């Protein structure tokens, strides 16, 4: 068993003891008259639990976060001492070998004795660190437990202290959401910044040619890839446009039918069906597009004498549209139901048929909500990955012809990053630049859509 | 209302005509709506129908009956009374491919030419060797005898036998040549070919051979990944929701958090993959392809969904509960954790299950963090290299072999079954425990 899991077991054990001991002590102090305590006995137990558990876990977390880096640093220092002329690259390789040796990943039969010696040294350093952490964390746990146990008195405000910790934990949890956004922005901006150090922003945003193949060797011909992302943007827009041509009319009309025409029975039948459509994983849609829709479009096009690529934008767009139908329909449904009944009644009272009321009263009244639904759907179509990865091509054609193969931003991100790659080539970093564009575009669409929807809701509330 | 001179003649032909036209327009409009719904339903039926029709043969394996003589010489003598280690070394040294070849040749003694023999052995899966080794390992005593075994055929035979490939097309257009088809038909006549439910599909890991490929490895990978997701996203999401709904003062700060969460829920999933790649792999150096990285990435994605669902559930608990508990002297934390949260729990759990179902079907962010590797072994923990069910589907869908199409559909059926089960549990939970106040 590793020292860390052993430490964890001991910490949990001492925490349990501290909880029980402190709870018992608080009761004993007042001879079982709970009313003489400031807080409930359990609160005294929890107070000790917090003191026992949290600092010890913090020690463990610190080791997990920085421990291996410290060991690496010491080892690198030693290697440099042994051979002052060693370069940074060679040092990194050596360290990598040593790490592999220690984790037993080295497959080669004959291990260099020098490497073995270094490996053993590394292993002993690692073990020292691990056992050091073990001792420190268990000591902190026991010390914390005793500290808390000693402080227990009948008039101690244990509940307030425990509740303070609970409150802080909750605040920390809700800050995680903000941290995630910050993390996304920072990592995208940082890596994209490195990319723009190699390729100019202007070329990226306005260049017409996308071929990110980097040469294997520096002296190879055409070692420079070109990173003009306009074909990707155009391809994304083309597929999104096709998807919207399917999703908007179908989604909107089904929402209208469900809210205005269908009775309760039909509704309760259709709604789950639409939910199933919404719950199908996108990889399944992608498979469907590649297996059924794309060949069907190619064959039909062939019959009509049209030249259709086997990975046409049309196939990916149509299937993506189907994927978005339930999304569009449920959001429009919400918008339509939110229109007050009085407006509908007023329209009927003037003699309008249902279709006329829907066209000239309901839809205009629900328009902001529908526009919001449309924007959210567009944002979803732009960010959708699996359908286009499986059904659209990789060729970056700059074309408006839906029968040709195009590629999208998400496809390129996925293909640039799948597999092992060096992390400082422009090819890999380009994916982060594309990711940044994708994030900014979808974020703006979402913000605008939420604004529109919120503003409109307030009108009738 | 100034002009009252003329009255509308509702009975006039023009008016009647106009009304009829308006009613027709109304009916047409209704039909558009029905048409839209019909279109969505038709696509759904087509989608599921295609998956089921192509997927059902994927659950089966075609096997061939062979008489294999287990020559003791191959194993260095009889294996009776040997220790398990000795048995393993003997099995590793034995030439099972040769034994299978001899078994096939005994069925067709007139096949002697080198090329023909190779074509003949190609009918049997290359995974048959492991199968045979497995049989010997389970019962070492059978060495020395001739046993009748059912071994998996190659994927080409499988697609011909189950009819997804046509055997009557021109020879150059199919994967088996005329001679192979002849042998196959002879074996079919002798009842030496059968199709059975494939145990390899349900218990095996990934494989390059479609007939040996299984979903179990990726199901286990999905399990570990979702376990990490649940362990991280559930407490974080619920505590954040409780804070925002019950404790947070209405301030600019809590507004910011709220806007943030709503936006995070709509960020494309692939962006979370980029975040996972940059933070977990490049900064924290967590193991590539491991469920822990996948789980943490999906947790960030699922958390906003859980927060939004949990807040809705907390909001549905009536204020009287809070007032009552406060009136009896409970502190704010006690009111929340003893009274409000337990009452909101069924609603929260429904949201959590739906969020987890979503995470189970998610593929794109996991491509970024290396879960697309070809992994044969069943993962044993959260740090082993693993793949997940949807990524396995993606990998198989990308494979050129015809037989992988049916494996892909079969794996999709497995995935959809899990999703349906999870959603059914969510619906049940909602029906069973939801209170109307």
What pLDDT is stored for residue B3 in this prediction?
59
Q: Measure in Å the smallest separation between the Cα of B44 and chain A Cα atoms.
A: 6
Superfamily of structural domain A226-460: MetI-like (1.10.3720.10)
Give CA angle at A155 (A149, A161), nearest 5°.
65
The question of ipTM being above 0.85 is answered as: yes
**Contacts by residues B397-400 (CB-CB < 8 Å, ≥ 24 positions apart):** B397/A283, B397/A286, B397/A287, B397/A290, B397/A291, B397/A390, B398/A390, B399/B210
* CB–CB contacts below 8 A, A to B: 252
What pLDDT is stored for residue A324 in this prediction?
95
pLDDT tens per residue across span B217-239: 999 999 999 999 999 999 999 99
A403 touches chain B (CB under 8 A): no
- Domain of B175, in residue numbers: 59-197
CATH number for the domain spanning B421: value is 1.10.3720.10
- Among B163, B197, B231, give the residue marking a domain's end: B197
- Among B168, B197, B226, give the residue marking a domain's end: B197
Q: Say if residue B273 is in the same domain as residue B400.
A: yes
Q: What is the rounded average pLDDT of the residues B362-375? A: 88
Cβ distance A180 to B408 less than 8 Å, yes or no, reads no
Give the residue, A395 or B19, on which the prediction is more confident: B19
Residues of B in contact with A414 (CB under 8 A): 270, 364, 367-368
Global pTM value: 0.88
Give the least confident one: A329-338, B161-170, B256-265: B161-170
- Within-domain flag for B79: yes
Q: Say if residue B191 is in the same domain as residue B241.
A: no
Kindly tell me if the per-residue pLDDT of A419 is higher than 70. no
Q: Measure in Å the smallest separation between the Cα of B290 and chain A Cα atoms.
A: 14
- Among B169, B197, B225, give the residue marking a domain's end: B197
Cβ distance B269 to A261 less than 8 Å, yes or no, reads no
Q: Say if residue B275 is in the same domain as residue B378.
A: yes
Chain A residues 260-299 within an 8 A CB cutoff of chain B: 260-261, 270, 273-274, 276-277, 279-288, 290-292
- Within-domain flag for B9: no
Q: Say if residue B246 is in the same domain as residue B325.
A: yes
Instruction: Tally Cβ neighbours within 10 Å of residue A367.
Output: 13
Q: Say if residue B183 is in the same domain as residue B244.
A: no
Give the least confident one: B55-64, B133-142, B193-202: B133-142
pLDDT tens per residue across span B325-353: 999 999 999 999 999 999 999 999 999 99
Q: Which of B47, B243, B269 is nearest residue A174 as measured by Cβ atoms?
A: B243
Kindly tell me if the per-residue pLDDT of A96 is higher than 90. no
Chain A residues 108-137 within an 8 A CB cutoff of chain B: none
pLDDT confidence band for B75 (50 / 70 / 90): confident
What pLDDT is stored for residue A215 in this prediction?
47
Kindly tell me if the per-residue pLDDT of A107 is higher than 70. no
- Within-domain flag for B54: no
Give the least confident one: A238-242, B95-99, B422-426: B95-99
Q: Say if residue B174 is in the same domain as residue B238.
A: no
Q: If you ran DSSP here, which 8-state letter would residue B380 be given?
A: -
Q: Mean pLDDT score of chain A, rounded to an integer?
A: 85
Q: If you ran DSSP here, which 8-state letter would residue A18 be given?
A: H
Cβ distance A274 to B419 less than 8 Å, yes or no, reads no
Instruction: Tally Cβ neighbours within 10 Å of residue A222.
Output: 10
- Within-domain flag for B15: no
pLDDT tens per residue across span B87-123: 888 888 888 888 888 888 888 888 888 888 888 888 8
What pairing do the DSSP bridges indicate for beta strands B193-197 and B60-69?
Answer: antiparallel
Find the residue in A nearest to B369 (Cα). Answer: A418
Q: Say if residue B337 is in the same domain as residue B385.
A: yes
Query: What residue ranges do the domains of chain A occupy?
Result: 3-156, 226-460
Specify the residue for token string 């660190």.
Answer: A129
Q: Measure in Å the smallest separation between the Cα of B127 and chain A Cα atoms.
A: 25
Q: Say if residue B133 is in the same domain as residue B279.
A: no
Cβ distance A249 to B394 less than 8 Å, yes or no, reads no
- Number of domains making up chain B: 2
- Within-domain flag for B17: no
Q: What is the DSSP string of B205-242?
A: ---SSGGG--SHHHHHHHHHHHHHHHHHHHHHHHHHHH
What pLDDT is stored for residue A404 in this prediction?
85
pLDDT confidence band for A398 (50 / 70 / 90): confident
Cβ distance B30 to A173 less than 8 Å, yes or no, reads no
């Amino acid at each position: 068993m590793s020292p860390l899991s052993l430490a964890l077991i001991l910490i949990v054990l001492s925490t349990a003891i501290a909880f029980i001991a402190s709870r018992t002590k608080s009761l004993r102090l007042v001879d079982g008259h709970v009313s003489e305590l400031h807080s409930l006995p359990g609160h005294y137990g929890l107070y000790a639990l917090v003191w026992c558990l949290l600092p010890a876990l913090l020690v463990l977390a610190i080791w997990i976060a920085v421990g291996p880096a410290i060991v690496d640093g010491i080892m690198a220092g030693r290697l440099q001492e042994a051979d002052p002329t060693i370069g940074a690259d060679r040092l990194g390789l050596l360290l990598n070998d040593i790490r592999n040796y220690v984790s037993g990943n080295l497959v080669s039969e004959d291990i260099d004795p020098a490497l073995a010696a270094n490996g053993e040294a590394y292993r002993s350093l690692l073990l020292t660190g691990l056992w050091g952490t073990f001792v420190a964390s268990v000591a902190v746990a026991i010390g914390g437990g005793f500290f808390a146990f000693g402080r227990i008195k009948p008039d101690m405000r244990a509940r307030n202290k425990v509740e303070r910790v609970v409150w802080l934990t909750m605040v920390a949890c809700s800050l995680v959401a903000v941290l995630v956004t910050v993390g996304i922005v920072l990592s995208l901006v940082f890596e994209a910044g490195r990319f723009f150090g190699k390729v100019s922003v202007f070329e990226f945003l306005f260049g017409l040619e996308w071929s990110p193949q980097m040469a294997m060797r520096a002296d190879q011909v055409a070692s420079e890839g070109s990173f003009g992302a306009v074909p990707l943007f155009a391809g994304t827009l083309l597929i999104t446009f096709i998807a919207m041509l399917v999703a908007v009319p179908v989604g909107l009309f089904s929402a209208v039918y469900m809210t205005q025409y269908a009775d309760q029975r039909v509704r309760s039948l259709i709604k789950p069906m639409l939910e199933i459509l919404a719950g199908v994983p996108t990889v399944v849609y992608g498979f469907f597009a590649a297996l059924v829709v794309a060949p069907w479009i190619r064959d039909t096009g062939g019959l009509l004498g049209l030249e259709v690529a086997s990975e046409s934008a049309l196939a990916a767009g149509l299937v993506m549209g189907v994927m978005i139908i339930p999304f569009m329909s449920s959001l429009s449904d919400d918008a339509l139901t939110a229109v007050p009944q009085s407006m509908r009644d007023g329209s009927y009272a003037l003699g309008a048929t249902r279709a006329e009321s829907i066209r000239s009263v309901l839809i205009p009244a629900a328009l902001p909500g529908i526009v919001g639904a449309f924007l959210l759907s567009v944002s979803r179509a732009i960010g959708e990955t699996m359908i286009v990865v499986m059904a659209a091509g990789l060729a970056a054609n700059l074309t408006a012809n839906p029968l040709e193969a195009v590629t999208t931003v998400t496809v390129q991100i996925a293909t640039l990053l799948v597999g092992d790659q060096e992390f400082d080539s422009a090819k890999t970093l380009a994916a982060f630049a594309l990711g940044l564009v994708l994030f900014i575009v979808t974020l703006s669409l979402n913000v605008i859509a939420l604004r529109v929807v919120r503003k409109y809701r307030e009108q009738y509330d | 209302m100034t002009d009252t001179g003329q009255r509308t003649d509702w009975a006039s032909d023009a008016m009647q005509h106009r009304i009829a036209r308006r009613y027709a327009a109304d009916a047409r409009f209704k039909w558009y709506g029905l048409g839209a719904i019909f279109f969505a339903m038709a696509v759904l039926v087509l989608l599921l129908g295609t998956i089921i029709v192509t997927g059902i043969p994927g659950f089966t394996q075609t096997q061939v009956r062979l008489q294999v003589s287990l020559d003791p010489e191959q194993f260095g003598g009889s294996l009776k009374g040997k220790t398990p280690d000795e048995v393993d070394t003997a099995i590793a040294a034995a030439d099972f491919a040769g034994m299978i070849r001899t078994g096939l040749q005994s069925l067709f003694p007139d096949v002697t030419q080198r090329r023909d023999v190779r074509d003949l052995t190609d009918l049997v899966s290359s995974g048959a060797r492991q199968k045979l080794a497995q049989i010997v390992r389970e019962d070492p005593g059978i060495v020395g005898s001739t046993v009748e075994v059912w071994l998996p055929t190659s994927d080409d035979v499988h697609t011909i036998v189950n009819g997804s490939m046509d055997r009557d097309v021109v020879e150059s257009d199919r994967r088996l040549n005329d001679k192979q088809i002849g042998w196959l038909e002879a074996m079919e006549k002798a009842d030496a070919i059968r199709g059975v439910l494939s145990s390899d599909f349900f218990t095996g890991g990934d494989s390059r051979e479609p007939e040996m490929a299984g979903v179990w490895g990726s199901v286990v990978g999905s399990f570990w990944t979702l376990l990490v997701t649940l362990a991280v996203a559930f407490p974080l999401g619920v505590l954040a929701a409780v804070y925002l709904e019950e404790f947070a003062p209405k301030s600019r700060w809590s507004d910011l958090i709220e806007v943030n969460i709503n936006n995070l829920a709509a960020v494309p999933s692939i962006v979370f993959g980029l975040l996972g790649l940059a933070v977990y792999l490049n900064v924290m150096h967590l193991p590539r392809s491991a469920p822990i990285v996948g789980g943490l990435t999906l947790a960030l994605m699922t958390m906003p969904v859980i927060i939004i669902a949990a807040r809705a559930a907390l909001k549905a608990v009536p204020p009287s509960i809070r007032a009552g508990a406060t009136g009896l002297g409970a502190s704010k934390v006690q009111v929340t954790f003893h009274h409000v949260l337990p009452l909101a729990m069924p609603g929260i759990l429904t949201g959590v299950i739906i969020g987890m179902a979503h995470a189970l079907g998610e593929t794109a962010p996991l491509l970024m963090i290396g879960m697309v590797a070809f992994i044969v072994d069943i993962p044993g923990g959260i740090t082993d290299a693993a793949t997940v069910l949807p990524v396995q589907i993606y990998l198989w869908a990308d494979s050129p072999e015809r037989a992988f199409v049916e494996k892909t559909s079969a794996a999709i059926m497995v995935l959809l079954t899990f999703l349906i089960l999870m959603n059914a549990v969510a619906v049940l939970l909602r029906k069973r425990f939801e209170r109307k106040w």
